[in-house]
Copies of this chain bind each other. A is one copy, B any other.
Amino acid sequence: CKVHKICVLPGDGIGPEIMEVATKALTVAGGKEGETFEYKQCLIGGAAIDATGKPLPEETLEVAKQSNAVLLAAIGGYKWDTLPSAQRPERGLLAIRAGLNAFANLRPAIVPRQLADSSPLKRELVEGVDILIVRELVGGIYFGQPRGFGKNEKGERIGYNTDVYSEPEVERIARVAFEAARKRGKRLCSVEKSNVLEVSQLWKEVVIRVGAEYPDVELSHMYIDNAAMQLLRNPKYFDVIVTGNIFGDILSDEASMLAGSLGLLPSASISGSGPGIYEPVHGSAPDIAGKDLANPLAMVLSAAMMCRYDLAIPKVADRLEAAVNAVLDAGLRTADIYKAGTPNTRLVKCSEMGAELMKHL
């Protein structure tokens, strides 16, 4: 048992509300296992822009680096949508990912038993789906140079970006994915567009090479367009998916809709060496901010992922996850996951969901 230093970034919109529930739950769950947390709250996103002019103040990155892990709620809102893109809240997100070298984004796409009926897909297709998407997060077209605006040889104005991966970049993300697959269903699907792109050909080549070290994991390859299709046709086919930054952005959002709602989906962005970033998949929902309508469960499950990965206190993670299961089993639903007419369910506010959660901890 030791004191875990957590950098807490509530961010914008519903961020502060859900973060309050998650840190409280974490403190209680940790307490039962003799674990203590020291929270340092910092600014990021729109809140940071308002206070300091920057979406990621140096101080925030400093505190993050000196912590054991980062809990991040949500970023952005209408208010900052008209700023030039280089100064927008999202830049804070990209900057902290890069600043912490959080290169592996783990996004489980799980359809919770209690909500299988809210999926847009037919129940028999999604029941039991349990996919882990491993997305490379600090490379590819998001960060590739050169980028910008210019002119082509005809003198026409152009915008351009570079999608680029190096062998070591692919190697390290492939290892994370193979290791994860080894602990799960032992099947890894690498998604790229190697029939068209050189960056994907390098990707595929390196993944195959790393795969030789994991003979117990079955490796397959799929083009991104086909993957976008198979995720609907037969989602249970997938165990772990590994892919680059932009394809991972698209696929993980698509996969999250299998669950019908983003309200229960956590994510981890880990670096392997320093602190990782744990955040819910959903956004800052500015329209319902401050109204006690938000769903805090994805934030709580993100804290659970943090306990499992960076803090290596899986028993605390188990407690948090069990409590989330218990409130769902008890029929409690925030507005985003409530479906009028479903028997044995009850619409609750964010604070009530939080209070009930504590009872089950």
Contact = CB atoms under 8 A, between A and B. Distances in A.
Contacts of A121: 120-122, 232
Contacts of A232: 120-121, 232, 254, 257
Closest 7 CB pairs of A and B: A159-B202, A160-B164, A225-B253, A228-B254, A156-B166, A232-B257, A159-B199
A157 B162 contact: no
Interface in A263-285: none
A141 interface: yes
A197 to B, nearest CB: 5
Stoichiometry (number of copies): 2
Given A120-B121, A228-B253, A158 B163 contact: no
Nearest to A199: B159
A249 interface: yes
Contacts of A120: 121-122, 125, 232-233
Interface string A175-196: 0000000000000000001111
Contacts of A158: 164-167, 199, 202
Interface of A: 85, 88, 90, 94, 120-122, 125, 141-142, 144, 147-149, 152, 154, 156-168, 193-203, 224-226, 228-229, 231-233, 246-247, 249-254, 256-257
A289 to B, nearest CB: 19
Contacts of A122: 120-122
A149 B195 contact: no
B228 A195 contact: no
Contact of A225 (B199, B202, B249): B249
A320 B160 CA distance: 42
A254 B253 CA distance: 13
